[in-house]
Structure 1
Amino acid sequence: MSSLRGRLRATAYRTFYRLPGRWKRRIVRTVQPTYTIGAVVLVRDPEVSRILLLRQPPGAGWSLPAGLMDRGETPIECAARELGEETGIKLPTERLRPANPNAVVHTRGQWVDMVFETEVEPEDEYTVDAAEVLEAAWHRLDNLPPLTVSTSNLLAHYGIGPYRDYPEVLSR
Structure 2
Amino acid sequence: MPLPVRRMLARMVAPKYLVGAVTILRDSDAAEGDGPDRLLLLRQPHRGGWGLPAGLLKKREQPIVGAARELFEETGVRVHPDDMTAGSPNAIVHVVGVVDTVFFASVPASTTPLVVDGAEVLEAAWFPVDDLPRLSANTALVLGHYGIGPDAR
Q: Does the TM-score normalized on the shorter chain lie above 0.5?
A: yes
Over the matched positions of the two proteins, sequence identity in percent amounts to 47
Match of 1:55?
A: 43
Say which of 10, 20, 36 aligns to 2:18: 36
TM-score, normalised via structure 1 length: 0.80
Does 1:90 pair with 2:63? no
Structure 1 gap segments, 5+ residues each:
1-17, 166-172
Give the direction of change, closer, same or farther, for the CA distance of 1:124–1:93 in structure 2 (3 Å limit).
closer
Instruction: Give the match's secondary structure for 1:99.
Output: strand
Q: Give the Cα–Cα distance (whole angstroms) in 1 for the partners of residues 76 and 113 of structure 2.
A: 10
Moved over 3 A (4+): none
Aligned residues: 146
* Contact persistence 1:38–1:66 (CA under 8 A): yes
Could you tell me how far 1:129 is from its partner in structure 2? Answer: 2.5
Highest Rg: 1 or 2? 1
Letter in 2 for 1:21: L
Could you tell me how far 1:58 is from its partner in structure 2? Answer: 3.8
Q: Give the Cα–Cα distance (whole angstroms) in 1 for the partners of residues 112 and 68 of structure 2.
A: 21
Match of 2:60?
A: 72
Moved more, 152-161 or 121-130: 121-130
Give the direction of change, closer, same or farther, for the CA distance of 1:34–1:133 in structure 2 (3 Å limit).
same
Q: Give the Cα–Cα distance (whole angstroms) in 1 for the partners of residues 82 and 125 of structure 2.
A: 24
* Contact persistence 2:76–2:113 (CA under 8 A): no
Instruction: Give the match's secondary structure for 2:70.
Output: helix
Match of 2:5?
A: 23
Could you tell me how far 1:153 is from its partner in structure 2? Answer: 0.8
Give the direction of change, closer, same or farther, for the CA distance of 1:81–1:124 in structure 2 (3 Å limit).
closer
Q: Give the Cα–Cα distance (whole angstroms) in 2 for the partners of residues 25 and 129 of structure 1.
A: 42
What are the Cα deviations for residues 140-167 of structure 1, in whole angstroms up to 9, with x where unaligned?
A: 01100000011111111001111115xx
Give the direction of change, closer, same or farther, for the CA distance of 1:30–1:59 in structure 2 (3 Å limit).
closer
TM-score, normalised via structure 2 length: 0.90
Letter in 2 for 1:52: L
Q: Give the Cα–Cα distance (whole angstroms) in 1 for the partners of residues 117 and 72 of structure 2.
A: 9
Q: Give the Cα–Cα distance (whole angstroms) in 1 for the partners of residues 46 and 96 of structure 2.
A: 20
